[in-house]
Amino acid sequence: KNPFKPVGESLLIFSKHNKYIITRQLVLGLLSVLDHLSGEPFQEYMNSMYFDRFLQWKWLERQPVTKNTFRQYRVLGKGGFGEVCACQVRATGKMYACKRLEKKRIKKRKGESMALNEKQILEKVNSQFVVNLAYAYETKDALCLVLTIMNGGDLKFHIYNMGNPGFEEERALFYAAEILCGLEDLHRENTVYRDLKPENILLDDYGHIRISDLGLAVKIPEGESIRGRVGTVGYMAPEVLNNQRYTLSPDYWGLGCLIYEMIAGQSPFRGRKEKVKREEVDRRVLETEEVYSHKFSEEAKSICKMPAEASSNQAHLLMG
């Protein structure tokens, strides 16, 4: 499809999300500026320290990324396939989080496709509300994903370890809005996240959030639906538990559960520190209604129910 379309003496240019009108006068002005800059100013630049620095950066860009590219620091957390540690790029001093996926653990748990899938999705998603992939490399023992560093802890810590469990409504809805922005960026790439829970929402130094751990995320082929009973107990949508087909609906359900937990200070289907078998939690998800305490205003109740209703409606549409 041709992105250029003549409109009188102007040119209409289409991009992915916007369109721009370029006039003849603007083009002539740009050519004049380009002609001027390509002369004496450019020669001065080539003889300056700035050009030397530019060449140094271009040289660095061409160097292969290895473990020696970084300084490794303390462990930030541990996961199913390995640990996450702070790291620093030697050349720039910039800090990141290095997620090490140990090859032995990946092979033992048959997680090869999951590890590759996470890397491929991170490469395509560019969002200020999802952790970004800056570098990727491998060692003899591990696959390493170098990601946005988040120093503010996870949402679970803030819900349960900062005074009384739960947040005021305003704070909960602020986080919910940012989480929704992250989900929308994933959904724009036809990717369903499928593992929304407090542990996977990380905070930065300024109190903003990013969605992390995309190991269970999957890209849905255009115009199709998928099935798969994956996720975390207590956060999986009914259509996931019933092994029905779905598209993006599990994320809406998970968001509703997360909003509830941020306000109530406990999961909607399991009391805090309550020991319940997985089967019982799944039964509650499928058969019981969540209970709203005095902490919920009518508006908050409505907001909690909206994502679950969206999930239910989408599941019914796919079932015909």
Q: Does residue 65 contact residue 136 with C-beta atoms inside 8 Å?
A: yes
What is this structure's pTM? Answer: 0.79
- Catalytic residue chosen out of the listed positions 52, 154, 185, 195: 195
Residue 86, pLDDT score: 96
The strand ranges marked E within the chain are 4-7, 10-14, 19-22, 70-78, 83-89, 95-102, 133-138, 142-147, 191-192, 201-203, 209-211, 218-219
Residue 313, pLDDT score: 61
Is 185 catalytic? The answer is no
Q: Which amino acid is at 222?
A: E
Binding residues for ATP: 108
Residues 170-204: tens digit of each pLDDT: 999 999 999 999 999 999 999 999 999 999 999 99
Do 295 and 177 lie in one domain? The reply is yes
Q: What tokens does 243 get? A: 């092994």
Question: CA–CA separation, 219 vs 194, rounded Å?
Answer: 11
Do 309 and 184 lie in one domain? The reply is yes
In the block, tokens 């200020």 appear at 128
In the block, tokens 């305490």 appear at 293
Choosing from 116, 147, 178, the residue where a domain stops is 147
Residue 305, pLDDT score: 81
Do 71 and 195 lie in one domain? The reply is no
Residue 218, pLDDT score: 94
Choosing from 147, 164, 186, the residue where a domain stops is 147
Q: Is residue 5 part of a domain?
A: no
What residue numbers bound the domain in which 274 lies? 153-317
CA–CA distances in Å: residue 165 to residues 96, 159, 202, 295, 302: 30, 5, 18, 12, 21
Residues in the chain predicted with pLDDT less than 70, given as ranges, are: 1-22, 307-320
Residue 21, pLDDT score: 64
The strand ranges marked E within 204-276 are 209-211, 218-219
Do 180 and 304 lie in one domain? The reply is yes
For the chain, report the end-to-end CA distance as a whole number of angstroms.
35
Binding residues: 108
Domain count across the chain: 2
Calculate the CA dihedral of residues 138, 141, 146, 152 and round it to 10 degrees. 180
Calculate the CA dihedral of residues 123, 126, 131, 133 and round it to 10 degrees. 30
Do 307 and 187 lie in one domain? The reply is yes
Question: CA–CA separation, 320 vs 314, rounded Å?
Answer: 10
**Helix ranges (DSSP H) in 140-219:** 155-160, 169-188
Q: Is 54 helix (H, G, I), strand (E, B) or coil?
A: helix
Residue 13, pLDDT score: 57
Choosing from 89, 122, 147, the residue where a domain stops is 147
Residues 109-149: tens digit of each pLDDT: 888 888 999 999 999 999 999 999 999 999 999 999 999 99
Q: Which amino acid is at 64?
A: P
The strand ranges marked E within 176-220 are 191-192, 201-203, 209-211, 218-219
Do 305 and 157 lie in one domain? The reply is yes
Q: Is residue 35 part of a domain?
A: no
Q: Is residue 27 part of a domain?
A: no
Would you say the C-alpha torsion 107, 108, 112, 115 has a positive or negative sign? negative
Do 163 and 307 lie in one domain? The reply is yes
CATH number of the domain to which 192 belongs: 1.10.510.10
Phi, psi of 8 (to 5 degrees): 65, -125
CATH number of the domain to which 130 belongs: 3.30.200.20
Q: Is residue 211 part of a domain?
A: yes
Q: Is residue 26 part of a domain?
A: no
Do 143 and 159 lie in one domain? The reply is no
Q: Does residue 155 contact residue 198 with C-beta atoms inside 8 Å?
A: yes
